[in-house]
Amino acid sequence: MAQAGAQALLHGDVRARIVRLSLPSLAAMLASGLGTLLDALMLSRLGSGATDAAAVGFPLLTLYQTLGFTLGMGAGALMSQAIGRGEETLSAHAAALSLLLALALSAALSALGLLLPAPLLRLLGAGPESAAQAALYVRYLLLSAPLLCLSLVLSSLLRARGHAGAYGAAFAAGAALGAALEAVLVLRLGWDLTGIGIAMIAREALTLLLLACCALRFRLPLARPAPRVLLQMLRYGLPTLLRQGLMSVSGVLFNREASALGGAALGGMGLAVRALSLVSSAVIGFGQGFQPVCGVCAGAGRMDRVREGFFFCLRAVVIALLMLGALLFPFAGALLSRFGAPPEAAAFGARVLRAQSVVLFAQGAVVLFNMLTQSLGLTVRAALVATSRQGFVLIPLLLLLPRRFGETGLILCQSVSDVLSLLLALALTRGILPRPEKADGTKTG
């Protein structure tokens, strides 16, 4: 997105611009989420041990997403602000540094995990009955995750420069290849976990290859990494780092609490979390259409457009999630059972889905409030909003409610956290966006 692209974000219908930018992001996030959900559903067909392996691997997957989202959103937000101010050199430095760090950190994490598999499995909460299958699944996850991390960064860089349509097709193609390979290798040839692992690596490799081609096609500007840019990137990316990092921590705590209640609880919780992550992916994908608009308009001083775009996104997400929750509540059990989940795991997972369906709107609203504060560079407020529902609100609930109320307490933890986090987000973001003026110069509402 050169200056002509920046001008397009500063003029015209802001809602139409957000929708246009969000559709490829939405497709990409849904494709990525469907890929990981399909992995979990395939594992659930292999028995309770493989179902548990999916739950064990989810916090590890979240850790790599933490790296990719942190570096990608940090660099992307910095790039959008820089482009709004006409600073192309700063934009290029941010792109180069984010890719270099993504490659180095994700590769180092995978190497460490492959060298020390037993301590890693214990940390992730794997039980003795699922340790063997979890070890094999985690091995493939460690091999594919650096590819995912780089893809997330590249997609953020392309989106920040206005090339939204380019990366949506890349994620969709990768997901399609993964699904086709799993159908052949697992369902036809019976390769089980090995087939799932090969499909996972192929999915991420194709996605990254296509994104790299998109970057070359659109001549994504790169420069030698400038260390001074790192602090600016971290300023924008810190809320994502805290949110996603605490999601990994809370995922481990969920696994440990569920393991104490039995294999059905661990497997059911893992399936429910994977299914709900698809909803989170959709909200993030839609919100990513707002972020470049927010960054460029804020950099140019057009806070009126930031306000208009944010409240358009908030209304759309809340209405959509209220409707989805109303559909999900009565059909949660049938949904998990239809995909071949073990009966006891499906029953527990259905209870989790029903509890979350009531408050899905709160989850979506918190994500958007986080994106607003993050894109505006309000680091402290963004960090507090980002870390609430998966961190300092959820973690105490996980340490308290299951011990007091057993299964019901564990099931309600995330729902209670979402409601409390929404109240906190409303308090922290009050007054950020100026009210529009009336004709007489006074503020509305």
- Do 290 and 371 contact (CB within 8 A), yes or no? yes
CB proximity list for 153: less than 8 A, separation 6 or greater: 68, 71, 72, 75, 98, 99, 102
> What is the C-alpha separation between 435 and 156, in angstroms, rounded?
30
Token pair of 219, please?
A: 């001549």
What is the pTM (predicted TM-score) of this model?
0.77
* 3-class DSSP assignment, residue 437: strand
pLDDT > 50? residue 440: no
Comparison of pLDDT for 176 and 271, the residue scoring more: 176
- Do 79 and 162 contact (CB within 8 A), yes or no? no
Secondary structure percentages of the chain, helix, strand, coil, to 5: 85, 0, 15
Kindly state the percentage of the chain with pLDDT values over 70. Answer: 93
CA triplet 71, 197, 103: central angle to 5 degrees? Answer: 25
Q: What is the mean pLDDT of residues 281-305?
A: 84
pLDDT > 70? residue 7: no
pLDDT > 70? residue 390: yes
pLDDT of residue 421: 95
Q: Residue for token digits 């109240």?
A: 423
Cβ burial of 20 (10 Å; 0-12, 13-18, 19+) is middle
> What is the C-alpha separation between 16 and 20, in angstroms, rounded?
6
- Do 333 and 275 contact (CB within 8 A), yes or no? no
**Residue 222 DSSP label:** -
* 3-class DSSP assignment, residue 434: coil
> What is the C-alpha separation between 368 and 356, in angstroms, rounded?
18
**Residue 442 DSSP label:** P
Lowest mean pLDDT among 58-62, 125-129, 189-193: 125-129
pLDDT of residue 71: 92
- Residue 165: count other Cβ atoms within 10 Å of its Cβ: 16
Comparison of pLDDT for 348 and 3, the residue scoring more: 348
**Residue 308 DSSP label:** H
pLDDT of residue 2: 45
> What is the C-alpha separation between 72 and 66, in angstroms, rounded?
10
Q: What's the Rg (C-alpha) of the chain?
A: 21
Confidence of residue 164 (pLDDT cuts 50, 70, 90): low
pLDDT of residue 445: 46
Most confident of 8-17, 140-149, 183-192, 326-335: 140-149
Closest listed residue to residue 331, CA positions, set 277, 275, 278, 281: 275
Q: What is the mean pLDDT of residues 305-317?
A: 93
Q: Residue for token digits 């209870």?
A: 351
Cβ burial of 349 (10 Å; 0-12, 13-18, 19+) is buried
pLDDT of residue 340: 65
> What is the C-alpha separation between 244 and 236, in angstroms, rounded?
14
Backbone dihedral angles phi then psi of residue 410, each to the nearest 5 degrees: -65, -40
Q: What is the mean pLDDT of residues 135-156?
A: 93
pLDDT digits (tens, 9 = 90+) for 251-280: 888 888 888 887 678 888 888 888 888 898
> What is the C-alpha separation between 344 and 293, in angstroms, rounded?
46
Confidence of residue 296 (pLDDT cuts 50, 70, 90): confident
Q: Residue for token digits 């973690």?
A: 395
pLDDT > 70? residue 194: yes
Confidence of residue 443 (pLDDT cuts 50, 70, 90): low
pLDDT > 70? residue 374: yes
